[in-house]
Amino acid sequence: MFKFIAKLIFVAAAVVPLASQAQDAIKLGYAKCAHCTPLALTPEKATDVKLEAIAFNTGNDVLTALLSKSIDVAQVTYLHYATALDKGFDVVAISGQINGGSQILVGNDLPLAENDWAGLKKLIADYKAQGKPFRVAASRGNAQDIHMRGAFAKQGIDINKDVQFINIPNPSDHVQALRRGEVELICSVDPFATQIREVKAAKFFAFPYDQAAGKLTNLIVTRSDVIAAKPKGVEQTVRSIIKVNDLMASDKPLFIDTIQKVTGLDKAIATGAVANLYPDYQMHRASAVAIAQMMRDLKYINTDVSAAVEKNMDYRFLEAATGKPKSALGY
């Protein structure tokens, strides 16, 4: 009997650490945009959690991995968040990350000065009068796509009637589309937007921040089953993101170096991209609702998800990590 009990204790002792490890293990997915690359540093800043950071080509890929339970936590955008809720998926926002990183660029030969929206509207009208499509591109469903659509609507340009929209899923392909003359205008994400300017594949037109989404882009989300199974792991992940965010705000050379390492782009491009990025771990509830309403107005989602957007923002982890009330964290 003693041997049997001893054997049980031995087996339990072997199982408990494994269960603890599973409880504390988190897989964090992120896209290879300039905002997102600092998340590659989160494992080395994490404590009391075995954190693995996994890079994906696009935010859509990251969201798919989260919903298929290949990862536990995902960096997506406020737009992905609203889209997922519109489709009835189980997503819970737990932190902000870094915002900004959008640029509208136009072909070098177009007679447009920076921020000349009146000129752009006239040019689009001229193309229409000549029977030519004015082609605008973005990666459908990412923040830059919605930023552009919102900015166009604000300026009285109907993206469904006045221009021809072309979807280029991978932002790294934007530069070649411009070089081949396949589009007249593109809204791209940094560092690829800055790369386009550096290699002179197009020229800068405007930052598309004059719309409901403002500069907001990145949001960290998880699923309710992850929160139930690994609450401490989720909290430590948020703590790690905040530490890295603070580093990015105070150490620009490290931010630039991180972009270079993850994307392989050169220092000039990474430096230009950093100038258009804003570390921000807060979750902006009212703006998130405004984004969802704008997406519905633009017929990008089918339902009013305002209530779900608010309900599924869980500030507990930010509050625990910062010691601040949610009223000071964007609520």
- Report d(CA 324, CA 108) in Å as an integer: 48
Does pTM surpass 0.75? yes
- Report d(CA 206, CA 148) in Å as an integer: 10
Q: Which residue has the tokens 């690994």?
A: 230
| CB within 8 Å of 132: residues ≥ 6 apart | none
pLDDT of residue 299: 83
Q: What is the pLDDT of residues 72-116, one digit of tens each?
A: 999 999 989 999 999 999 999 999 999 999 999 999 999 999 999
- Report d(CA 233, CA 21) in Å as an integer: 10
C-alpha distances in angstroms, 210 versus 28, 100, 120, 156, 272?
31, 12, 16, 13, 21
From edge to edge, which strands make up the β-sheet containing 102-106? 164-167, 135-138, 185-189, 102-106, 203-206
Lowest mean pLDDT among 135-144, 180-189, 215-224: 135-144
Q: What is the pLDDT of residues 108-149, one digit of tens each?
A: 999 999 999 999 999 999 999 999 999 999 998 788 998 999
Q: Which DSSP symbol is given to 326?
A: G
Position 255 confidence tier, pLDDT thresholds 50, 70, 90: very high
State whether residue 93 is helix, strand or coil: strand
Q: Are strands 185-189 and 102-106 parallel, antiparallel or unpaired?
A: antiparallel
The pLDDT of residue 18 is above 50:
no
Structure tokens at 121: 């509207």
Q: Which residue has the tokens 């640029």?
A: 103
Task: Calculate mean pLDDT across residues 280-288.
Answer: 96
Task: Calculate mean pLDDT across residues 256-278.
Answer: 92
**Which neighbouring-strand residues pair with 165?**
136
- Report d(CA 142, CA 287) in Å as an integer: 17
State whether residue 193 is helix, strand or coil: helix
Tell me the residue ranges of DSSP E strands in 179-295: 185-189, 203-206, 218-222, 277-280
In three state form, how does the secondary structure of 35-85 look?
CCHHHHHHHHHCCCCEEEEEEECCHHHHHHHHHCCCCCEEEEEHHHHHHHH
Is 230 buried (19+), middle (13-18) or exposed (0-12) by CB count in 10 A?
Answer: buried
Task: Calculate mean pLDDT across residues 256-281.
Answer: 92
- Report d(CA 36, CA 143) in Å as an integer: 13
Position 193 confidence tier, pLDDT thresholds 50, 70, 90: very high
The rounded mean pLDDT for the chain is: 91
Q: Which DSSP symbol is given to 114?
A: T
- Report d(CA 168, CA 140) in Å as an integer: 7
Position 265 confidence tier, pLDDT thresholds 50, 70, 90: confident
State whether residue 252 is helix, strand or coil: helix
| CB within 8 Å of 44: residues ≥ 6 apart | none
Of 270, 320, 234, 272, nearest to 42 by C-alpha is: 234
